[in-house]
Amino acid sequence: MFKLLNSYQLSYAYHGAFTSTLTDKILALSETNLDVESESLKIKKKVYFIIVESLQNLTRHKSTEIDLTDAESFFSIHKLKDGYLVGSANTIENDKILPLSEKLDKVNSLNQEDLKNYQHEVLSASGFSEKGGAGLGLIEMVRKSGNKLSYGFEKINEKNSYFYFQTKITDISANIGSNEITYNHQIIKTIHKVVHENNLKVFFQGQFKHENVKSLLSMAEISMYLTENFAFRKTAVSIMIELLQNIAFHAAGINNNDDRPGMFMVSNKGNVCSFITGNYVTDVKLAELSKKLEHVNSLNDIEITDLYLETLVLENDDSNNSAGLGFVDIRAKSKNKIELDIHPFSDDKKFVIIKANINY
Amino acid sequence: MTILKLDATEDTPYVFFDAQNGIFDISKRSLPENAIVFYEQLLIFINNYKSLPAPETKVNFHFDYLNTSSIKQLMKVILLFDQLATSTKVFVTWCYDKGDTDMFQTGQRFEKLTSLSFDYKEI
């Protein structure tokens, strides 16, 4: 599944309920990530704008049928070789499809000059649509992204459909290949399907620098995908802290030593919530890690507490780590074995997937 | 320096140490990138305080989140108060949010490794 998501150059995805605080956190994460990726100011501003508009569209057009809406909203960001792709999927009432498509088709049919005129026209007419937009957002999206908007619908039932929507932002300075490559909404449709079928809630792939880790954490804290149960939420966030900082502290770089590429996802199946990380580890560190996990997994609850206390007073922390307390802590808090999955990568590095599960 | 006051940030705790009145409060969240660097100033302050402590020392903890590298450093902080308790009175209050069993357990683990007795408060 990770390979498949990776083939779509997915960098971030969220599936679930969208609240305005969550939207703010997604924006904060996007901003820090764009900084970490050290994109040019121009592309940063464009991408940020498209993300804002897409998130607003998501809540603006979504169906009001409560059973469907919240759990089914989806948002993703893809980092492509020549730019970014921002996608969203949400439910929409069937009778809203036609007016929305007309608006989108109209905006797509215009060239840059016509768009400008149309924008003036809309501004002076100030004919706001029922849900607050005057189509200005869409016009700006086309103008800023430099690409047409791709969209599609898929019927769910007699009343509702999925509305897939994606915008590509081309980095003109990168200019790899031509701008002619048109991405249709199939990308977002496929990703949405994979995420939906695998009960994924959050996916993030990128640099695990401290800033990004902080944004991911504050996002997780307010996310509704974590149940309302306070103790569970506390445990979940604590485990996330350890897993994410683990990558930030220990993962191997690929391009240079400061590089911390990795991925993180949360899935929710039945009554088990899984936190999955993936990153590169040198063979030397991996041997240590495997041994550590094997030991931690072999212990029962009482033995784990003993090991916790033992590790806590251990006098060795010349480097900024917890002297192995992290996995002991995860094991103790999750009350489940920590899963380890190793995939070959290079002569001296492996791609390592770690999974912590909490029952609730 | 008789007072050490640090405002809470996204990843470092609120700290209020008052040597004259023997008050030591640490709260909010502690998940810094480098816990050793952050806790060093706290450890130095407490070490100095140990040479001229107030008649009674009141230590209050109330954490929201702790990463394990902070837990390691916090152990050092608590062990200093444990040493102090051999000569003067030290009262440790471990507060935790209502329902936060993980944080309650973290307090219990610290307590187990010292001769101090913690007063637990669910808030």
Q: Are A351 and A251 in contact (CB under 8 A)?
A: no
Q: Are residues A240 and A183 in the same domain?
A: no
| Residue A79: count of CB within 10 angstroms of its CB | 18
Residue A51 belongs to some domain of the structure:
yes
Q: Does residue B78 sit at the A interface (CB-CB below 8 Å)?
A: no
Q: Are residues A139 and A276 in the same domain?
A: no
Q: Are A333 and B102 in contact (CB under 8 A)?
A: yes
Summarised one tens digit per residue, pLDDT across range B67-106 is: 999 999 999 999 999 999 999 999 999 999 999 999 999 9
Task: Show residues of chain B in contact with A28, CB under 8 Å.
Answer: none
The number of distinct structural domains making up chain A is: 2
Q: Are residues A269 and A352 in the same domain?
A: yes
Q: Are residues A312 and A185 in the same domain?
A: no
Q: Does residue B123 sit at the A interface (CB-CB below 8 Å)?
A: no
Summarised one tens digit per residue, pLDDT across range A138-174 is: 888 988 888 889 999 998 888 888 999 999 998 765 4
Q: Are residues A134 and A28 in the same domain?
A: yes
Q: Are residues A243 and A339 in the same domain?
A: yes
Q: Are residues A252 and A187 in the same domain?
A: no
Residue A337 belongs to some domain of the structure:
yes
* pLDDT at residue A127, as a whole number: 55
Q: Are residues A254 and A188 in the same domain?
A: no
Residue A218 belongs to some domain of the structure:
no
Q: Are A61 and A92 in contact (CB under 8 A)?
A: yes
Residue A251 belongs to some domain of the structure:
yes
Distance from CA of A244 to the nearest CA of B (A): 11
Sign of CA dihedral B99, B104, B106, B107: positive
Sign of CA dihedral A171, A175, A181, A186: negative
Q: Are residues A43 and A163 in the same domain?
A: yes
What is the gyration radius of the CA atoms in chain A, in angstroms? 22
Sign of CA dihedral B114, B116, B122, B123: negative
Give the CA distances from residue A15 to residues A88, A194, A199, A226, A233, in Å, rounded to whole numbers and listed in that order. Answer: 10, 11, 9, 12, 18
Quick one: fold of B3-122?
A: Transcription Regulator spoIIAA (3.30.750)
Q: Are A208 and A247 in contact (CB under 8 A)?
A: yes
Q: Does residue A241 sit at the B interface (CB-CB below 8 Å)?
A: yes
Residue A262: which of A12, A4, A1 has the closest Cα? Answer: A12
Q: How far apart are CA A126 and CA A241, in angstroms?
A: 47
Summarised one tens digit per residue, pLDDT across range A174-216 is: 444 434 445 567 888 888 888 888 888 889 998 898 888 988 8
End residue of a domain, out of A178, A200, A222: A200
CATH assignment of the domain containing A236: 3.30.565
Contact A325 B71 (CB under 8 A): yes
Tokens of B72: 């390691």
End residue of a domain, out of A200, A216, A240: A200
Residue A6 belongs to some domain of the structure:
no
3-state secondary structure of A193: helix
Residue A216 belongs to some domain of the structure:
no
Q: Are B32 and B11 in contact (CB under 8 A)?
A: yes
Residue A260 belongs to some domain of the structure:
yes
- Residues spanned by the domain of A99: 16-200
Task: Show residues of chain B in contact with A210, CB under 8 Å.
Answer: 11, 33
Contact A231 B10 (CB under 8 A): no
Q: Does residue A302 sit at the B interface (CB-CB below 8 Å)?
A: no
* pLDDT at residue A175, as a whole number: 47
Q: What is the pLDDT along chain A (360 residues), one digit of tens a residue?
A: 777 777 778 889 988 878 778 888 888 888 888 888 777 888 889 999 999 999 888 877 776 665 554 456 899 999 888 889 999 998 888 999 998 998 899 888 888 888 888 888 877 765 555 444 557 888 889 888 888 899 999 988 888 889 999 999 987 654 444 344 455 678 888 888 888 888 888 899 988 988 889 888 888 877 755 566 888 888 999 999 999 998 988 888 888 777 888 999 999 888 899 999 999 999 999 999 999 999 999 999 999 999 999 999 887 655 545 568 999 999 999 999 999 999 999 999 999 999 999 998
Choose among A241, A309, A322: nearest Cβ to B72.
Answer: A322
Q: Are residues A129 and A267 in the same domain?
A: no
* Burial zone of B1 (CB within 10 Å; 0-12 exposed, 13-18 middle, 19+ buried): exposed
Q: Are residues A141 and A238 in the same domain?
A: no
End residue of a domain, out of A183, A200, A217: A200
Contact B33 A320 (CB under 8 A): yes
Instruction: Find all residues with CB under 8 Å of B36, minimum gap 6, and list them.
Output: A317, A320, B69, B73
Interface predicted TM-score (ipTM) over 0.85: yes
Distance from CA of B102 to the nearest CA of A (A): 7
Counting DSSP H helices and E strands in chain A, the numbers are: 13, 10
Q: Does residue A230 sit at the B interface (CB-CB below 8 Å)?
A: yes
Q: Are residues A26 and A80 in the same domain?
A: yes
Residue A208 belongs to some domain of the structure:
no
- Which residues 10-39 of B are in CB contact (within 8 Å) with A? 10-11, 31, 33-37
